[in-house]
Structure 1
Amino acid sequence: MSEEQYRDGARLVADIGGTNARFALERGPGWIEETETLACADYPRFQDAARAYLERHGAAGAPVRHAVIAIANPVEGDYVKMTNHRWEFSLQAARTELGLVTLLAVNDFAALAMALPQLAASELVQVGGSAPALDGVIGLVGAGTGLGVAGLLPTNGRWTVLQSEGGHVAFSPADRREQEILAYCWQRWDHVSAERLVSGPGLALIHEALAARAGSKIAALEPADIVEHALLGTDPLCIETLDTFCGMLGTVAANLAVTLCARGGIYIGGGVVPRLGEWFARSSFRARFENKGRFSSFASRIPCFVIHAPYPALGGAAAMLAEHLEAQQTECAIQQPTMEVRHGHALSSQ
């Protein structure tokens, strides 16, 4: 690589979801390597997973001093408690235990949003719409263990991330079938969020609800099995489940598009949709996306892009860490005391 290595050693970057934790080392700006995916369930704590990665990969030369974790969770204050996994920890305690100088936590979809301008055309597949406005607001949505939402706003030649917990808005049914699915969920929960259905676990819930709607008694299926049967065309209920899911995602994406006026496009990440390939483009997603009543013409012009980059959030998290450290250095320089000599005494002034 041609990039200069960081003078104070490689930086640890991590993308932590409800199922998997992806770790890597950034040795210079944009120079990310030695990526490894660990199952969250295999480690009692975040610190255990991070230590296991560092023990295997380490860092040539100086030890790791700075780290960033993009986590599928709201990030507020020092204490982190994951929504879709059992890990909970103090950032300060974890930083001390791992021997770090810096441990920055950011929302995982904020990190993914930060990576969007860096993605190559080969890492994206467009589904409908026209060309994006280069100075337009960008929306991001992605279904995995949960439902992530974020925005990216152009400000003075730079991008500003709009963090969001939009996956937890109330689910909005768009037809009678979805109304019946929602009624089925209401038997179990008072509040049914979009994430409850538009996510990996949501696929299993949709399948269960559709079976109940049809009066069928069938065995529960894992989300991966539902997707496999649907893509192979071997199970009508799985096909209906996946297409219903795609339609629901179309509603979520369109709501985000009109909320943000996302003329820069809607990007789709997460673990589910990129696995669907061309099936997704043929699904009910785009028709639902454009079905916005008086704003149908507006929605029809907005392009949607499926992200196919392998670990895009790592690059975004690394960029956010770089900005954080740069801001710290600037603040320290501003606050650096200057020495003046007055009447033979050294005085410090700030």
Structure 2
Amino acid sequence: MSLNASASLYPRLLGDVGGTHARFAWGEDAGGAVADIVSYKCAEQASLQEAIARYLAEQGKPRPRACAIGIANPIVGDTVRMTNHHWSFSIAQLKQSLGVQRLAVLNDFTALALSLPALRPSQLRQIGGGSAVAGEAMAVLGAGTGLGVAGLLPVGSAGGAGSAGSASQGGSGNYAPISGEGGHASLAAIDEQEAAVVNCLRQRFGHASAERALSGPGLLNLYQAAAQLAGRPAPLTSPQALIAAAREQRDPDCLAALDLFFRFLGSFAGNLALTYGARGGVYVGGGVVPRLLPELAASRFRERFEAKGRFANYLAAVPTFVIDAAVSPALIGASRALDAAALG
């Protein structure tokens, strides 16, 4: 397709669907900004189709010509069944019911990765490291209802790897997103305390994945493990209550949970930086970490990020950023996925 074909895919409906919230937005034309952003609680909607219908009705929107949905789930076929929510649907049937020319359904962190070249400095909070190297790979992770992971690799003129129809235009060249389910990789311990915590998680869940620690529910898991190891009860039942108690310095197990969270987060982010060669930066999104910026800055996150033996100096130069944006950048990434498909 041509650039004109891409421009014809307007107006467009954009979605960023996680395990807790579904955010929708509208793109009226190629030159306009993402607008009319609304967030719904997934638990209040019977299905994705119902949530979309509600959005279009409440916003008084016509039938879109195109739609792109970033969703917290691997996309491996026509049927999508969410890992951390009960929604499921057929991509083909959704396209037919919406009556759109093009429908793109992609992992939500793939969408977030596609947005990285478009992020403004005001939407980022740097936590350590040097400057991002233009045209180099980037990595993104984020703790929310689950743990999302993706990469953005340079192709063509940016990285010399040849052209790719799925590449997104960035400020310094073309990039292709790399999808994956890295949040379900095994959680690694660095010291004896962390090993004891991982063992608690393994006994409880069978497999101690990174997501069991690095997510909203994961914070609670760490709190419960810390209390178990200390021989104390764990009465708190929400991440919000845990964070409040830690900030008030009134619960040692809540403080231990936050400390463990940032240590595990730093180790995991450092692993991603090495895996992707992410000299363009490692970006942290999701709903949990942007709410904990003061605690993150004072934590051992960067110490653990760089603690990779012979590659400590390599990682010391890699910047880490927290994505702190009022508008979900994944909505912009979803729109870029439609443009990339049209140009392919």
TM-score norm. by structure 2 comes to: 0.90
The root-mean-square deviation of aligned C-alpha atoms, in Å, is: 1.6
Q: Which residue number corresponds to residue 14 of structure 2?
A: 13
Change in Cα spacing, 1:8 to 1:273, as seen in structure 2 (3 Å) is closer
Residue 277 of structure 1 aligns to a residue in which SS?
A: helix
Q: CA deviation at 1:32?
A: 0.7
- C-alpha distance in 2, partners of 1:6/1:53? 23
Q: Which residue number corresponds to residue 293 of structure 1?
A: 309
Q: Which residue number corresponds to residue 88 of structure 1?
A: 88
Residue 199 of structure 2 aligns to which amino acid in structure 1? A
- C-alpha distance in 2, partners of 1:101/1:57? 21
Residue 89 of structure 2 aligns to a residue in which SS?
A: strand
Indicate the larger mover: 249-258 or 175-184.
Answer: 175-184
1:244–1:284 CA contact under 8 A, matched in 2: no
Equivalences for residues 71-110 of structure 1 within 5 A: 71-110=71-110
Q: Which residue number corresponds to residue 42 of structure 1?
A: 44
5+ residue gaps, structure 1, are: 328-350
- C-alpha distance in 2, partners of 1:109/1:7? 26
Q: CA deviation at 1:172?
A: 0.5
Q: CA deviation at 1:44?
A: 1.2
Q: CA deviation at 1:228?
A: 2.2
Residue 194 of structure 2 aligns to a residue in which SS?
A: helix
1:198–1:248 CA contact under 8 A, matched in 2: yes
Residue 334 of structure 2 aligns to which amino acid in structure 1? A
Which structure has more relative contact order (CA 8 Å, sep 6+)? It is 2
Equivalences for residues 55-70 of structure 1 within 5 A: 55-59=57-61, 63-70=63-70
Q: Is 1:315 the equivalent of 2:332?
A: yes
- C-alpha distance in 2, partners of 1:273/1:227? 11
Residue 100 of structure 1 aligns to a residue in which SS?
A: coil
Residue 25 of structure 1 aligns to a residue in which SS?
A: strand
Q: Which residue number corresponds to residue 163 of structure 2?
A: none
Q: Which residue number corresponds to residue 126 of structure 2?
A: 126
Residue 192 of structure 1 aligns to a residue in which SS?
A: coil
Q: CA deviation at 1:277?
A: 2.0
- C-alpha distance in 1, partners of 2:343/2:174? 15
- C-alpha distance in 1, partners of 2:189/2:8? 53
1:17–1:145 CA contact under 8 A, matched in 2: yes
Q: CA deviation at 1:9?
A: 4.3
Equivalences for residues 1-350 of structure 1 within 5 A: 9-29=10-30, 31-59=33-61, 63-155=63-155, 156=157, 157-310=173-326, 311-327=328-344
Q: CA deviation at 1:94?
A: 1.8
Deviations 1:99-153 (A, max 9, x none): 3332210111111011011111111011111111112211111111111111111
Residue 160 of structure 1 aligns to which amino acid in structure 2? A
- C-alpha distance in 1, partners of 2:267/2:101? 43
Deviations 1:297-335 (A, max 9, x none): 1111111000011211000110111222343xxxxxxxx
- C-alpha distance in 2, partners of 1:54/1:175? 51
1:9–1:63 CA contact under 8 A, matched in 2: no
Q: CA deviation at 1:8?
A: 6.0
Residue 51 of structure 1 aligns to which amino acid in structure 2? A
2:66–2:103 CA contact under 8 A, matched in 1: yes
Q: CA deviation at 1:7?
A: 5.3
Deviations 1:195-245 (A, max 9, x none): 111111000100001000000023132012112222333332212111110
Residue 25 of structure 1 aligns to which amino acid in structure 2? W
1:146–1:167 CA contact under 8 A, matched in 2: yes
- C-alpha distance in 2, partners of 1:130/1:197? 28
Indicate the larger mover: 228-237 or 298-307.
Answer: 228-237
- C-alpha distance in 1, partners of 2:249/2:116? 33
Residue 133 of structure 2 aligns to a residue in which SS?
A: coil
Q: Which has the greater radius of gyration?
A: 1
Residue 318 of structure 1 aligns to which amino acid in structure 2? S
Percent identity over the alignment is 43
1:114–1:317 CA contact under 8 A, matched in 2: yes
- C-alpha distance in 2, partners of 1:63/1:7? 14
TM-score norm. by structure 1 comes to: 0.88
Residue 48 of structure 2 aligns to which amino acid in structure 1? F
Length, aligned pairs only: 321
2:284–2:323 CA contact under 8 A, matched in 1: yes
Residue 28 of structure 1 aligns to a residue in which SS?
A: coil
Residue 341 of structure 2 aligns to which amino acid in structure 1? H
Deviations 1:26-68 (A, max 9, x none): 1123521000000000011110111111111132xx5312101
Indicate the larger mover: 23-32 or 304-313.
Answer: 23-32
- C-alpha distance in 2, partners of 1:280/1:234? 19
Residue 58 of structure 2 aligns to which amino acid in structure 1? R
1:152–1:162 CA contact under 8 A, matched in 2: yes
